[in-house]
Amino acid sequence: GYAITDIKTMFLSDLYPPDKRDESKEYFTAMLSGERDFCPVPMLRKDGNSLQVETRVWAGKWGGKDCIFAIVKDLTGEQEALLKFSSIFENNPAVMAINSFPYAVFIDVNSSFLNRLGYSRDEVLGKSVAELGIFAEEEERKLFGAELARKGRISNVEIKVCSKEGEILFGLFSG
């Protein structure tokens, strides 16, 4: 929202909310020393609204003179997509989980997963599918893992999983 004439008279730190300027300067110092890759502090638009960005700075030369380069990426689209995904994931009636591959360690699970399988979030996150014994048949787990590694996906395969209490549940697995 700033005019080029405004930008020419401003410091980069002027684009950050006054209460975040010291924090942004700490990030910049860390980026210039190679300790950090980017600054996640939101910028302030000319109209006063916050703008979610990722700022990267590095030292260089321009026309033979020392300078600092800065690139600011607007993350608005990514944030909106993440919010939509998160809402769909969390509110989906289907049992859903996000796992690392190939180790099948749970990174996140939705409420349906917790409610249907009887686990708490703390009992699941950071644990592997094998550790929790989610698959009713160990051989099935190995076959699905091999199929995912070979093809990169699995769709609508019948599966038997175990709840925390040992109840066998039948469903379709996609990954």
- Ordered DSSP codes for 122-168: HHHTT-BHHHHT-BSSHHHHHHHHHHHHHHS---SEEEEEE-TT--E
Query: Cα-atom radius of gyration of the chain, to the nearest Å?
Result: 24
Q: Which of 41-50, 55-64, 122-131, 143-152 comes out lowest in average pLDDT?
A: 143-152
pTM: 0.62
Residue 12's pLDDT is 84
What pLDDT band is residue 126 in, cutting at 50, 70 and 90? very high
- Residue 54 binned pLDDT confidence (cut-offs 50, 70, 90): very high
